[in-house]
Amino acid sequence: MPELPEVEVTKQSLSPMLLGTTISGVHVGKPLRWPLGVDPKTLVGQTIVGVRRRGKYLLFDLDAGLLLLHLGMSGSVSVSQQWPGPLGPYDHFELQTTSCWMRLNDPRRFGAAVFAPSENSPQAHKLLGHLGVEPLEAGFTSDYFAAGLAKRAGAIKQVLLGGDVVVGVGNIYASEALFMAGIRPTRGAKRIGRVRINKLHQAIQTVLVRAIALGGSSLRDFKHTNGEHGLFQANSQVYGREGQACTQCQAPIKRIVQGQRATYFCATCQR
Ligand SMILES: [Zn+2]
């Protein structure tokens, strides 16, 4: 599943090609998770004046309005300055601009392309309104994080995945950050002491920055998988390593299921 680092890397690669170009054609294929919400023709003639990311959404600021793209479970976006050939069976959304083609390829169709009149409109609010702060932006301070966790009764791993305290810490990254901070994934979020919260705050940022740095190559593999794979996983300390020796203490890594998602941890190093 595309997580924050993959979406950030996608944004970084799309941005220089799309910024300042004008939409000249829109293709909408099979239904995605949510409909576009407007006649595709209304996008034609609009210039892309900004490319941003919020959580796992790609945001394209237009002259009038906002286009939101979500990669769902299996989506990937490609952009090309030369015609990329006929649309494939999984290319369900395409923007043609004055200088390139951008395609959303999404075999499982949990992704979406949605138009919103503005970022404050109900259409955008429905998708973005519940999102917590960005983990790599200034608003994610350790004070903010501690205050958010103090109100949560659930297990810390679940609270991280919930995305309403801090957004974009997906399944792999939550397991890795908790290992780095020495915190057991099942520990109640509000029962973690401040020193350990500070460690976790730092670990989340370290893990995501590292994943973004590796993202260029993980994205390539990513396109061909439906699961949680990629280069980052090959470099993981606990994720996907059940039964293997902990890199710190040699004890076997354990795997449990929390909220239907696999969690990996070291029962010796994480308390
Ligand atoms: Zn260990």
- CATH code at position 188: 1.10.8.50
What integer pLDDT is reported at residue 217 of this predicted model? 43
Catalytic residues: 2-3, 56, 261
Contacts of 234 (CB under 8 A, 6+ apart): none
In a domain, 271, yes or no: no
Please check whether residue 168 lies inside any domain of the structure. yes
Same domain, 34 and 122: yes
Do 102 and 218 fall within a single domain?
Answer: no
At 93-135, the pLDDT tens digits run: 999 999 999 999 999 999 999 999 999 999 999 999 999 999 9
Output the CA 200–ligand 1 centroid distance in Å.
17
Burial of 159 (0-12, 13-18, 19+ CB in 10 A): buried
Q: What is the pLDDT of residues 162-207, one digit of tens each?
A: 999 999 898 999 999 999 999 999 999 999 999 999 999 999 999 9
The answer to whether the CB of 223 falls within 8 A of the CB of 236 is no
The pLDDT of 51-58, averaged and rounded, is 95
CA of 58 to the centre of ligand 1 (A): 37
| Residue type, position 251, single letter | A
| 212 CA distance to ligand 1 middle (Å) | 25
Residue 196 within any structural domain of the chain: yes
CB of 134 closer than 8 Å to CB of 57: no
CA distance 172 to 253: 14
The verdict on 114 and 171 lying in the same domain is no
Residue 222 near residue 230, CB atoms below 8 Å: yes
Considering the domain architecture, whether residues 119 and 17 belong to the same structural domain is answered as yes
Neighbouring C-beta atoms of residue 63, cutoff 10 Å: 11
> How far away, in angstroms, is 237 Cα from ligand 1 center?
10
Assigned domain for 178 exists: yes
Residue type, 99: S
Which tokens belong to 266? Answer: 């070291």
Write the DSSP string, 111-155.
Answer: -EEEEESSTTSHHHHHHHTT--B-TTSTT--HHHHHHHHHT--SB
Model confidence band, residue 250 (pLDDT cutoffs 50, 70, 90): very high
Angle at 212 between CA 80 and CA 126, to 5 degrees: 80
How would residue 245 be classed by pLDDT, with cut points 50, 70 and 90? very high
> How far is ligand 1, taken at its centre, from the CA of residue 84, in Å?
48
pLDDT-above-90 percentage for the chain: 85
Domain that holds residue 226: 142-265
Q: What is the CATH number of the domain that holds 10?
A: 3.20.190.10
Q: With contact defined as beta carbons under 8 Å apart, do 113 and 35 qualify? A: no
The domain boundary residue, chosen from 87, 105, 128: 128
Q: Per the domain annotation, does 252 fall within a domain? A: yes
Task: Give the Å distance between the CA of 241 and the centre of ligand 1.
Answer: 12
How far is residue 142's CA from residue 171's CA, in Å, rounded to a whole number?
A: 21
Q: State the pLDDT at residue 230.
A: 53
Residues 160, 116 share a domain? no
Q: How far is the CA of 73 from the centre of ligand 1 (A)?
A: 31
Whether the per-residue pLDDT at 69 is higher than 70: the answer is: yes
| 155 lies in the same domain as 115 | no
Find how far residue 38's CA is from the centre of its chain.
25
> What does the chain come to in residues?
271
- Among 96, 128, 160, the domain-final residue is 128
Q: Is the domain of 207 the same as that of 255?
A: yes
Return the pLDDT at 74.
Answer: 85
What pLDDT sits at residue 215? 74
Task: Determine contact, residues 92/104, Cβ cutoff 8 Å.
Answer: yes
Query: Higher confidence at residue 234 or residue 42?
Result: 42
